[in-house]
Each structure stands twice: as structure tokens, then as C-alpha cells.
Amino acid sequence: MQAVIAQGTAVSAIQAVAGAAAESSQRASAKNVGVKFSSYNGTALVIPAAGFGGKAEKSSSSIRGSPARANLFGNLKNLKTDILNPLKPSSDSVEVKGRLVLSRRSILDLVNVNASIIDDNIDLIFNQSVVINLVSVEAKPDGQPKLSAKSTIVNWITATGIKEKLIAGDESYAVTFHVPKDFGEIGAIVVRNKHFNEFFLHEVALETSSGVTYQFPCKSWVYPDNILDADDDRVFFTNKTYLPGQTPSGLKRFRESELVALRGNGKGIRTPSQRIYDYAVYNDLGKPDLLAKRPTLGGNKDLPYPRRCRTGRVPALADPKAESNIPIGSIDYYNPCDECFERDKNSGFYAGALKSINHALAPVISGIFDDTCNTWDSIEEIMEIYSKGLDLGTKLADTDDEEKKKSLVFLNTIFKAEGDSKSVIKYPKPQLIKEDENAWMDDEEFGRQTLAGLNPCVIELVTEYPPKSSLDPSQYGAATALTEKHIEPYLEGLSVKEAIEAKRLFKVDYRDLFLPYIERINNTKYKAYASRAFFFRTKTGAMKPVAIELSLPPTEQTGASNRVFTPPLRKEDTNYFWELAKAHFATIDFGYHELISHWLRTHAVMEPFIISTHRNLSKLHPVHTLLLPLYKNTMRINAAARQHLISGMGIIELCFTPGKYSMEMCSKIYGALWRFDHEAFPANLIARGMAEPADASQPGGVKLVVDDYPFAKDGLELWDVIKSYMGKYLNIAYKGSDKAVQEDVELQRWWNEVVQIGHGDKKDEPWWPNADSIQNLTHICTTIAWISGPHHAAVNFGQYAYAGFMPNRPSHLKKLIPEEGSKEEDKMLEDPQKWLMETLTSQSATAIILTVLELLSSHAIDEEYQGKRLHDNWTSDPEIKAAFTEFSAKIDALQRKFEERNADKSLVNRTAGPAKLPYMLLYPHSAESGLTGRGVPYSISI
């Protein structure tokens, strides 16, 4: 058996993703731009804070069951003033007790011991660890903010010593303030960190002696004074929101100044401690200094693209227009620090990535593959990935090599590898082949996946036949070779015209999108056609393929080619040309899925919305509160993708058919097809002919052409529930006034910047809606919520279920189909199975793709699902809480409804289909983390 030498760059890239996930625990010192109120630091003498027996309370690392966060207000009532406090509160003052919940800098689930020792000793000597001021909603008579005297948390170091602090978790600290009776309502706090290391401030809770409570959902990294400017302060507002014109006088300057700080000045290299959100074009995908130049995407008509977050790195030496790269494996690339994972997400992502590294390394360091040069021998050999696993080929337990022993620890503790040697790593069996290992080959299953599989958002109703082309025939040849004779034998006695009129003929058409790139692709090691497929909905409701057309452009040696393949008329017959045509269509569909349905239509298009929200909508703004869950972890994931997945020589280029043209094609398709108005789900279905306008009694206000269309059927009901909640929330926030929407300066600036800058290459398109009414704003926010939630869930969390079995969705193919009458045709017909295996994705690429898909298809332990919130301190508005409770109940009802739908044996595109695979991708919740194939988070969280 000969080991496969997998692409080292791809493996290094996966390793770099893992390293990058620990970024939040290794961020370098840097100057930050914050809110500057230096005069506030000279207020009254510090009143020492009270503690709990002199100890900081430790907690579990679990967010859901965190004792540090549980019953936060209940603990406040037991807080006693430190008896050593020499300063007695005035009789005219009011006591305010507080608790902070924070996490220290950590690596995986372990405290960063060196950082903790430094911070603990500084605290022990100076007792000035974290300094806090309260801010009143009322300004002083001179218009300046009204602040309390400074107070500090005490006893940062625990009495039990550093050894008890090896397991990272939320820590709870007490603080006490005394403010004048006329201080007024508390609206914000100002926090300064006098340690040498940052911490993540989860939340703060305050309670006055009269029982008034205040909550601060902070969720932010607080960097130390030795990194920030001397007059930088971090400001956190309560969970009470205000429209800009309603901002209390005491908070106005804080509101404005924080937005200024978050925007930055558009200059210089961004550094890790900064929270600056700004825009840039995609000029960082290539590696020009490594002879891998890639075009800049965005900022020009030929290659339009959404904007990304600006990092400001220096130009590359070999291309001054391109941003320089960071070394492979480095974690030193900028993301606004608050976009970095919280500790629990960081640990889960990092552990998963460690698993992925070892999965990807397995084919490199073992002898699992034979001497057929990186080619599979049979489907049975592929199946062994799940049954026998990948043998590392070395007895780690018998080695004296410390690095290998560390790998053994990983295998024992993280991978839960089976077998005495602990050297076998198994990939989980994909859902597609769990019930029937051969169902994927069924033509009916091939068609079913257009409605309920990996990429269910591209199928269209056929309105004309034969198909036409928008490409110049003098350059690309005739539009089609399809005729009515090709498909009429499969139409159950209907003519093509009758099938179209009955709305029973459908297509997935990539021909015009891929054909301009096919010659260039075929000059690489991968081979492809520009493909289109036609499907007929049978009397039983099944979606069966009736023809696949594979096209090649003219070359210097040959003319243009349009080859039509049709399935056997009898199910028991096998046509190897048809099977090869299905494989070629599947690989183009998979590439389109990853680049367009997944990356472009969720990750890439969402980033400008996130950037503009933080730049223009204050955290005091109700729309900021509404949208924030939709953005969780997205920018961090996108940054990692730019570095390792979609970059030049990254995993997409190495393993997928479009290769180095992947992102250029993505840009062209964005320019040709993407429209914000068509991302609204009902409008998207109508645009594809898969639904027709109907009255409001129908989900989404549309009627489906195919009722048993699982993605659409479940999706429309999710759309309605989300839209109802968004509408109620916004009506509460704006008190039912469209005029209030129009006069909201922050909101108008937010939407204008999304259109004019974030998606600036499409700023003049007439289809952009105006944010000028509650109805329009509801539609805008619902569309954003759909993109980040249900659409992303549908195309992401099923990746391993369907593409985890490579023959169902090969990422690339290595041979074209032999021409009729050629010697290659004779060779293929002599041993069709061998030809197919030599055509399919290589062994090393299969291992890499499975590795990545397993990671991307897994839910994190801190996932926030539709209708659920991990913490209940996100708002103090009782009306909004009631609206959310109603939303949550409706989501729970949908979960039950979808489960009942999957149990209906008459629905052939669900559990009753050939693969017996229920459509669970739009189940709102997943009871567990990991590879569950169900659950719709609010955000593009992976």
C-alpha cells in the first residue's frame, strides 16, 4: 500500500484555521481607538468594593449552566460592605450593589496561567484591578455627563491560589457604589482595565438599595490601559434602548463618541485590540509574492463584489494593488476584537479544528491507499472510510517521540478513537447512506436532492423548451442540442408543451455561467463541462431527471460541443454514460453550491450589513439589538475563510472544479444574478417559478408549484414567523410611526451605507427597497434574518450529510466522458467501474473535503437557535419580551409541525424517498451540538 501525498498547502491551511480559532486568547498588544473622556478619570476618591468572603466566585465553563451568571440579582441581596472600608457612605447617598461576570484570557479550556499570575499579583499589590464609573441618564447642568465616584472590584486573586484556576470559566466579582440620591436612573457604566491582559466581560448587573435593577449585556473584550490610550474608556449601556432622538441627555455624548470610535479614520494597519469596522475590497485573496496573483474583487464594473472588513495590511511586494498576506498558520490577522469568539465557541471550534487536522493528516502519514496513484479502486474502498477508518499506520503508544505522544492524547481525549491502538480515525457515516448505501445512485434520489438536498435553492420551473442562451454563439456555439425527442419518452404520455403547461418540467441550468471558464478549467488537472439538467415531476410526486446536457466551448482543435445524455427507460438497466453525466452535473452543482449558494449568498453578502450596523447603529438603538444575534461569529468565520478556504492556493482552489478561477466566477455571478429583493424567500421562489403570488392566508403569501418541496414548504413557514416577530418588534420600537422611521438618522445612515458602500457596485440598481416605513423596514430585516438563519442553515448543515459521501457530490472530476466511437470509449466500456473510479475526486482531496465538511456542518456548543436566547438580559422592554415569547412559542410549534411532516409516508421527497432521509435542516432547534443535521441558528455561525 502506498501512502497518498495530500496537498501540503491544504493541510497547512486547515491547521491554520485551527490556530486562528485561538486568536482571542493570544491577541497582541496594540493601540486602540476608544471613547475618550479623560476628565472623567479625575472624579471622586475610590470607594473600595465589597466582596464575597474575599473570594471571586468560580463557575463552570458551560454558558447554559453557568453558576456565575445564574440568579445574578439574587446574589446581589447578600452583598455586604467591606468592614475595612474607612470611607462611610453619606446619609444622602444610595448604595448600588453590582456583579460582573467575565472570563479571563484562555487557551482552549485552560486559563492562560502566565497572564493570570501577572494580573493576580498586580491586583494583590495595588488593589486597582478593574475601575468602574456609573453614568446617569441625566446630564449635569452644564451638559456634561453625570458620573459616580469610581469604584473597583476587589480580590481578583482567589484565596485558593492559582492551581485552582487552571480550568477556564466565568468568574463573578462584586462591586459597590454610593451615589447621591438625586443621581437619577443609571444608563451606562465606564470600565477601565488596569491589568496587563484583556478579559471578556459577559455582563454586569446592578441593584439599588430600593430594589431597582439594571442589566448590561456587555459581550466585549476589555483591553488594559497599557494597550489603550491613557484617556480611553470602555462604555457599556444598559439593555434599555432609545431611538436617536429619544436619547437621554446624559448618554448623548457617549452614544455619539462610541460610534465615532467604531468607525475609525480609515487609515493605518488595524491591530488586534481595536474594535474598528471599515470597508475594503477583496484584494487579499491572492498570494502574489508566492506567484499566485488573483484579481481584486469589488470596486470595478467587471468584477463587482460585496465589501469585506478593512484590515489595512501593507501592499504585497509583487503587486502593490494587493494586500500582503500573513504566513500560513499565522493567527495574526485583524478582526474587530468583539467579533472574536467567546471562550466556549473558541474552545469548541478549536477542538473541532484539531480533530480536522488529524483527519487531514491521516492519509499523508499512513499507508492506507494502494498503488493506484491517488485513485479509488471501488465504491467499497470509499465505504471503508466510515467502517474501518483511516489508519495512522503507527503505534503511537509505543513511541518515545513526545510529539507523537501528544497526538495519542488528542486521539484518546478529543477524537474518542476506537480500537486498541488508538490510531484509527473514523469519519461518521453520512446520513445519505445510513439507511441504504445504494440509494444515492437512484435517479429519483438524484432528483429529490434538487428539492431537499445540499443545494435546494437553484431549481427552476421550465417556461420554454428547448433552452436558450445569452452567450454569443460565434464564441460559444449553439445554445443547445436538446430536442423534444430527448425527453418525451419520460413525460408519462405528455408532450413537452403539455408538461410545461402543467408545470411539471423543471431545470437546474449552469451552462451560461460556467461555459466562459470551461476551456481554462480543462487546461488544468480537472475536467468539466458547462452543464444543465432537466427534471420531470411524476404522478407520484417524485422529481426524476430526464436529460443532462454537457457543453464545451470551441477550442483551436475542436468545435463547440453540446452532448445530451438521457437515463435508461427501465430502472433495472444501467447506462454508464448516464452515470458519468450525472457525476459531471453533480460536481458543477457542488462547486456552485459552495461558491454561490453558500459562500456568496450568505457569508459574503452579509458582511457589509454587519459592518454598517456597528458603524451606524448605536448599541442603544433598538434595531441594533434586533439585528445583533443575526451576526454572531460571522465576521470571524469570514476572515478565516479568506485566509484558508477561498484564498489563492486555498482548499476551494485545490479541491473544487473551478480551481483558481473560483472567486473570479463568484464575482461574475454576483454581478449577474444577486439582488437583495430576490433574497426575500417568497420573492426568490417566485423568481424561479417555484411559487406563484397568492393571498395572505398562504405562507409567505405564495402558492408552491410543487407542494412537496421540503426546503420551500418548511422555509415559508419559518419566513412568516420571523417576519411576524420582526414586524411586532419594529412597531413597538417606532410606536407604529413611519415618520419616526424616516427621521431616524442612525437608521437612514445605516441603510444608505449598506447600499452605497457595502454593496456599492450595485448601488444604482432600482430594486433596492427604501427604509422609509415600518413595513419596508420589516421586510429588510426579515430578509437579513432569512439570509443569516434559514437559508444558511439549509445550505450549510447538510454538507456532510450529502457531500460527506464523495460519489454523490464529487468536488472535482479528472476525466471527460469519452466521445462516441473513440478508443477511449472502448476502454471505458471494457471496465466502466474502473473508469468511473479514475474519474472521481482523488483520495487525498476526498479526505480534505470530508475534514472540512465535518467541521462546517457541526453546531457549536454556544449556538443560539431561532426562538431561543442563551441569556435573558438582552432587553428590558416588557412589550418586546412578550413579542419574543410569542415568537418562541410559534417556533416550537413549527418544530413539531416539521416532525409530523417528515413522518408522512406520502411525501416522497422526505423520509419516504429512496434514501429514507427526513428533511431536518430547517428544524429550528438541535438538542445537541456537533454533527446533528438539524437546527437553525440566527447567524452564519460557522
* Catalytic residue positions, numbered: 598, 603, 792, 796, 942
Cβ burial, residue 868 (10 Å; 0-12/13-18/19+): middle
Cβ burial, residue 841 (10 Å; 0-12/13-18/19+): buried
Q: Kindly state the DSSP code that residue 639 receives in the 8-state scheme.
A: H
Which of 379, 388, 509 is closest to 440 using CA atoms? Answer: 379
What angle, rounded to 10 degrees, do the helices at 252-263 and 605-616 form? 140
**Structure-block grid coordinates of residue 673:** 444574478
Residue 609: CB atoms within 10 A of its CB come to 26
Amino acid letter for position 312: G
* Contact predicate 621/746, CB 8 Å: yes
* Contact predicate 96/902, CB 8 Å: no
Q: From CA 714, how far away is CA 866, in angstroms rounded?
A: 14
Distance of CA 277 to the CA centre of its chain: 18
**Structure-block grid coordinates of residue 642:** 479568506
* Contact predicate 96/204, CB 8 Å: no
**Structure-block grid coordinates of residue 399:** 513511541
Which of 646, 642, 858, 848 is closest to 20 using CA atoms? Answer: 642
Residue 470: CB atoms within 10 A of its CB come to 9
Instruction: Print the SS3 string covering 64-103.
Output: CCCCCCCCHHHHHCCCCCCCCCCCCCCCCEEEEEEEEEEE
Q: Kindly state the DSSP code that residue 425 receives in the 8-state scheme.
A: E
Cβ burial, residue 834 (10 Å; 0-12/13-18/19+): middle
Find where cell 425527453 sits: 487
Pairing of strands 186-193, 390-391: unpaired
Q: From CA 665, how far away is CA 657, in angstroms rounded?
A: 12
Amino acid letter for position 336: P
* Contact predicate 220/202, CB 8 Å: no
Q: From CA 314, how far away is CA 268, in angstroms rounded?
A: 9
C-alpha to C-alpha distances, 312 to 267, 271, 281, 315, 635, nearest whole angstrom? 7, 9, 11, 9, 16
Q: From CA 813, how far away is CA 311, in angstroms rounded?
A: 36
416's CB contacts (< 8 A; 6+ apart) are none
* Contact predicate 38/381, CB 8 Å: no
**Structure-block grid coordinates of residue 228:** 489603550
Residue 167: CB atoms within 10 A of its CB come to 12
Rg (C-alpha) for the chain, rounded Å, is: 29
- DSSP string computed for 316-377: PSS-TTSBPPPPTT-------GGGSPPHHHHHHHHHHHHHHHHHHHHHHHS--S-SSSS---
* Contact predicate 275/260, CB 8 Å: no
Q: From CA 670, how far away is CA 680, in angstroms rounded?
A: 16
Distance of CA 184 to the CA centre of its chain: 42
Stated length of the chain = 942
Q: From CA 23, how far away is CA 27, in angstroms rounded?
A: 6
**Structure-block grid coordinates of residue 591:** 462547486
Instruction: Compute, in degrees rounded to 10, the torsion defined by CA atoms 356, 359, 361, 367.
Output: 180
Q: From CA 18, how far away is CA 355, in angstroms rounded?
A: 9
Which of 893, 898, 889 is closest to 868 using CA atoms? Answer: 889
